[in-house]
Chains A and B, each alone.
Chain A
Amino acid sequence: MSSEFAVELRDVVKKFITPEGNELSAVDHVTMQIKNGEFFSMLGSSGCGKTTSLRMIAGFEWPTEGEVFIEGQPMGHIPPFQRKVNTVFQSYALFQHMTVAQNIGFGLEMEGVEKSEIKKRVGRALEMVQLTGMERRQPKQLSGGQQQRVAVARALVKTPSVLLLDEPLGALDLKLRKEMQLELKALQQQLGITFIYVTHDQEEALTMSDRIAVMSKGKVQQLATPVEIYERPTNKFVADFIGESNFLEGVIKEISKDEATVYVPVLNAELKGMPMSPDFVNGEEVAVSMRPEKIRIVEREADGDTLFKAKVLNSVYIGSDTHVYVDMQGARLKVMEQNRISRLDPSSFYSKEQMITLLFMPENTLILKKG
């Protein structure tokens, strides 16, 4: 391989003219480097530019500005079939008038591969996606999950160096989707091929990916590993979009190295030893972010240092957890508590108006730009 990166987007912009005649930047100065053999996801809500980014890598769209590189080569206006990438389409895009074997063999046939060789490689591809024996079926005789596998096999049989997948599991039901997630991940590790995976499902992205690019309005908000994305979101958007977060307003009182002391007016307290990135200044107004599952309800008196009083507004039982909504001097917080004990006894729930004590560990909170 000629480059450390399988795919690189360098300051890529894609503008569309909307039907109303306005200019829309579907992809807005995106830069990302996708490493060889990596499972890379683009995650974001509908319309944030994931598909457009993927299509520019595949060659179905060309950037308005910037450049796409594949294995270090600038792609310019090179057509899709001259790029060492293949796509698994969201709707699968299987050829309904061909059998499973003909679908999978189509790409090889276009390369002029011999018939006997095609047969062998189609057989191997089917084995890979566990569809051996389905050669002669028509796509519409297959279940959604099986069609999905055919689409994957059809792309992989071309031995691309990068496989592009656009919400490939979107049409499957939850259980099958979870199965396929693990299967796709296993396949990717077994083959060592770079996967670029588009999804709007954060759990899916967190489960499967080596790295994730969180996107919003055509921009990359954060590009990092799943753990970093969840534990150290770099801005309020990511903290809010991935998982859930409570935000409290605060002011930085003191900075030392990579820790800070923040005064939080609603708590009327200073939180000490909070982790912080270096681009904050003393006196700056910030957002203090806390994950609901990282706030604990404890059986102690509030002491105003790390323990705070709160009034229960509502508690919702959702099986594995109970969500407790509390009011803390006007600030509404959500707290998540795992149901480690049976909740069959109604008195095990927090009742409305009940006063409880919450524990905030400074290392479990984050300081983010207020924006």
Chain B
Amino acid sequence: MLKRLRESKSMQGTFLALPTTLWMFVLLIIPLILTLIVSFGKRSPDGNVIYTFSFDNYARLIGISHTCADGSATCFDPLYINILWRSLTLAFNTTVVVILMAYPLSYFIARAKPAQRNIYLFMVLIPLWTNFVIRVYAWMMLLRKEGAINIIIGWVASLLHLPFTPLEMLYTPGAVLVGMVYEFLPFMILPIYTSLEKIDGSLYEAAADLGANAVRTFLRVTLPLSMPGVVAGTILVFVPVMGTFVVSDLLGGKQVILVGNLIQRQFLDARDPAFGSAASLILMVMTLIVTYFYTRKFGFGEEIVAA
């Protein structure tokens, strides 16, 4: 046995992959199967799961309702579809805003002198040392009616003798977007920076030598070569934004409910794990579909992952 193991390359490979495979199985495959089983179940009156094989939870998610206002047996209720759609658009908007903010910043950092570059990168990373939830609370302090932003605007307004009523910023979709952008900006900056920093300086000289001005060099050389970073960053931002509930919970209040919040509430407040499981799987499938089509078009940003 040992002798064969020593001689066979493919057996060595299998053997080496064993621990990882085991962990994958225990931590990913088994919970996924359990979730799938539960999602076909029903909520018992005392908040437990009755194991059956019914698609009711999925039907409910896509809008087939049995509690209709007009008293009929079934009707269409877009409640959950709206939540899914809201999550999707928010994730999309967040990603777009984050790309637009991160790209110029990364470009600036990559073009800075090496010593300064490290300082800037350090500044990008510092917020990550503080817990995510605490930083969201900080945003609450800033955005509140009596918060720092309103105080400053009010102060400026009073100096200019303008009338001012404090802005309602907290618990709006805008606040959730701001929070998401803030949370995920570093995850876009770092991969884009890495891909920009890796571009060989002689390519810029070659472009100049061949007659390209700064704008065309950027569009034809810099941008395409940094796309792997943008792609990697997009995946790193889009996927978690689809699933988080902390930001929307704290900054969106009851106004902005996302799939993440929906799932969380099913497991905690509503005590309906079966419905929560179905929602989790729908979220997963939706994220997978979007990522699949996206990566089919742009690749995985392999060069960044490999770096």
List residues of chain A with CB under 8 Å of any chain B CB: 58, 60, 79-81, 86-87, 89-91, 93-97, 106-107, 110-111, 154-155, 158
Task: Say yes or no for B203: interface residue by CB 8 A criterion.
Answer: yes
Q: Indicate whether A89 sits within 8 Å of B205 (C-beta atoms), given known contacts A107-B211, A110-B211, A110-B212.
A: yes
Give CA–CA (A107, B213) in the complex, Å: 11
Asked if B208 is at the interface of the complex by the 8 Å CB criterion, the answer is yes
Partner of B225, one of A86, A96, A155: A96
A-B contact pairs, 24 of them (CB 8 A): A60-B208, A80-B205, A80-B208, A81-B209, A81-B210, A81-B211, A81-B212, A81-B213, A87-B209, A89-B205, A91-B200, A93-B200, A93-B202, A95-B203, A95-B221, A96-B225, A97-B225, A106-B220, A110-B210, A110-B212, A110-B216, A154-B206, A155-B209, A158-B210
Min CB distance, A226 to chain B, in Å?
Answer: 29
Contacts of B221 in A (CB 8 A): 95
B206-235 residues at the A interface, CB under 8 angstroms: 206-213, 216, 220-221, 224-225
Query: Once the chains are docked, how many angstroms separate the CA of A95 from the CA of B210?
Result: 12
Within 8 A of A (CB), among B159-217: 200, 202-203, 205-213, 216
DSSP majority for the B interface?
A: helix
Chain B, Cβ-Cβ closest to A102: B220
A81–chain B nearest beta-carbon distance, Å: 4
Residues of B within 8 A of A80 (CB): 205, 208-209
Closest CB of chain B to A96's CB: distance in Å?
7
Give chain A nearest CB distance to B217 CB in angstroms. 9
Pairwise interchain contact B203-A86, C-beta atoms closer than 8 A = no
- Bound CA–CA A106/B211 (angstroms): 9
Q: A93-B200, A110-B216 are in contact. Are A86 and B210 (CB under 8 A)?
A: yes
Chain B interface residues (CB < 8 Å from chain A): 200, 202-203, 205-213, 216, 220-221, 224-225
In addition to A93-B203, A97-B225, A110-B211, 7 A-B residue pairs with Cβ atoms within 8 Å of each other are A80-B209, A87-B205, A91-B200, A91-B202, A94-B206, A95-B220, A106-B207
When the two chains form their complex, are residues A93 and B212 in contact, meaning their CB atoms are under 8 A apart? no
- Report the minimal beta-carbon distance from A53 to chain B, rounded to whole angstroms: 16
Chain A residue, CB-CB nearest to B303: A96
For A97, the chain B residues whose CB sits under 8 A away are 224-225
User: Quick one: which of A96, A110, A155 has the most chain B CB within 10 A?
Assistant: A110
A269 to chain B, nearest CB (A): 56
> Complex: how many Å from CA A86 to CA B202?
13
Q: Pick from B211, B216, B225 the residue with the most CB of A within 10 Å.
A: B211
Among B206, B207, B210, B216, the most chain A Cβ lie within 10 Å of the Cβ of: B210
In chain B, what residue has the closest Cβ to A158? B210
Residues in B with CB closer than 8 Å to A87 are 205-206, 209
- Choose from A90, A96, A107 the contact partner of B210 (Cβ within 8 Å): A107
Residue of A nearest to B210 (CB): A107
Whether the pair A106, B202 counts as a contact (CB closer than 8 A) is no
Interfacial chain B residues near A79, Cβ < 8 Å: 208
